[in-house]
Amino acid sequence: MGNIFDNFELSIRNETSSPLKDLVQRAQGLQSLLSKNAAESDRNRRASEENIEAIAEAGLFKLMVPKRYGGYEGTIRSHLEVSATLGEACGGTSWVVSLINGCAWFTGLFPKQAQDDVFGADPDARVSGVFTPTTQVRRVEGGLVMSGKWYFSSGSLHAQWAMLGCVEHDENGALKAQYLALVPMSELTIEDTWFTTGMRGSGSNCIVGKDVFVPDYRLLDIMAAVRGEYSTPFKEEVAYRAAFGPVSSILLIGPQLGIGRAALKYVIEKAPQRAIAYTSFTKQTDSTVFQVQVAEAALKIDSAHLRAFHAADEIDDLARRNESPSYITRARVRADTGVVASDITDALNTLIFAHGAGSFAEASPVQRWWRDSNTAARHAIVLPAIGAELYGKALLGVENTVTPLV
């Protein structure tokens, strides 16, 4: 029983620097606190403030912030490691940390002046984000003015800045460019719309803006970014050379890795104490069927980790070599993300069948893990069917008419 958990814990690569290993250990040290507050976070539809304060104090929100501003300039692999470790304790809180760290990475792609506005003014600043664009945009001297509603912004309740999608059209109505715009939260409002059955603790509410001015230097051209053309002048910073499309997808699956680990561990630990109703088994561990179900779930979870870490390591290695991934590689990473989500949710379904109907008791953490994982797996960038279609088109040389975000 111990070996699989040891494998998860020892999965950090040897070449990962000590500061990043230390952040994973700090995340482990916060698990008891996050577990204690998990039901409250779920009930209140937002991560516990005690969680957020402890995570900030541990420096985990600075994982992907440039070292120039006192951050750790983490790897994509380290992002998965930290998110997964927190996800073992609270999926919703882990999702918040995962998305805020992801937006810190995206901020590192902007021009220096934009980065200075965010992290130069406040090294502890946090950024939430929504890629989905508003079309209520008009060009003015020096930038854009935009209005709209952006659903659903995970981490917005704990952020000082928002990264918001917007589309600019020319005078004839033709698409001119699509951007990510950095806007202070002080110029925006939050609408309480996050009424869901899963990932409730993420507090992914709607951001509302009206006639917000965004200077040109705080706009990042998404299509240029997909091509690997970043605005940051700090080309020597390896972390911000990673490929935009693959990073955009793989940053979303760390919490689910942790959820899978937590569920597997819980079912195994409870098995000797639980009978199988209407059978002769007084302990679940005596049932061959139960043994096979646990093994199948464990293999799925292990496969998800292997696939996720392989993709992350590949992204990081290419960035270190200052090389761009091939289109097929980019498409495969997008598909990998969907497979990881499917493997974890499939494993959870198997574990719930094995553990029994008690999984759905309100007092059981299993039902929360199940709800959180199934909700996270439906994120638009994660959808397995879309990822598979994109990968299939890439392998067959068929034109991608689905999405440029690859």
Q: pLDDT digits over 194-221, tens only?
A: 999 999 999 999 999 999 999 999 999 9
Give residue 7's pLDDT.
55
pLDDT at 2 over 90: no
Query: What is the distance between the alpha carbons of residues 353 and 369, in angstroms, rounded to a whole number?
Result: 14
Provide the pLDDT for residue 18.
76
Assign a CATH topology to domain 2-110. Answer: Butyryl-Coa Dehydrogenase, subunit A; domain 1 (1.10.540)
- Looking at residue 14, its pLDDT comes to 45
pLDDT tens digits, one per residue of 63-110 = 999 999 999 999 999 999 999 999 999 999 999 999 999 999 999 999
Whole-angstrom distance, CA of residue 95 vs CA of residue 124: 19
CA distance 227 to 62: 26
**What letter represents residue 300's amino acid?**
K
Would you kindly state where each structural domain of the chain is located, as residue ranges? 2-110, 125-221, 244-396
Q: What pLDDT was estimated at residue 1? A: 41
pTM over 0.85: yes
Q: Report the interhelical angle of 365-376 vs 31-44 (nearest 10°).
A: 70
- Is the pLDDT assigned to residue 328 strictly greater than 80? yes
User: What local confidence, expressed as pLDDT, does residue 8 receive?
Assistant: 54
Q: How many Å apart are CA 4 and CA 22, to the nearest integer?
A: 22
Q: Give the other-Cβ count within 10 Å of 99's Cβ.
A: 26
Average pLDDT on 112-124 reads: 97
Assess whether the region 2-110 and the region 244-396 belong to the same CATH fold. Answer: no
What is the predicted pLDDT for the residue at 16? 47
Identify the H or E element spanning 378.
none
Element of type H or E holding 362 = none
Tell me the CATH architecture of domain 125-221. Beta Barrel (2.40)
Q: Identify the CA nearest to 392 among candidates 340, 342, 343, 334.
A: 334
28-53 pLDDT, tens digit each: 999 999 999 999 999 999 999 999 99
According to CATH, the topology of domain 244-396 is: Butyryl-CoA Dehydrogenase, subunit A; domain 3 (1.20.140)
163 — pLDDT class (breaks 50, 70, 90): very high
299, 344, 394 from 296: Cα distances, Å: 5, 11, 31
Distance of CA 298 to the CA centre of its chain: 22
Alpha carbons 48 and 50: distance in angstroms, whole number: 5
Tell me, what's the pLDDT at 17? 56
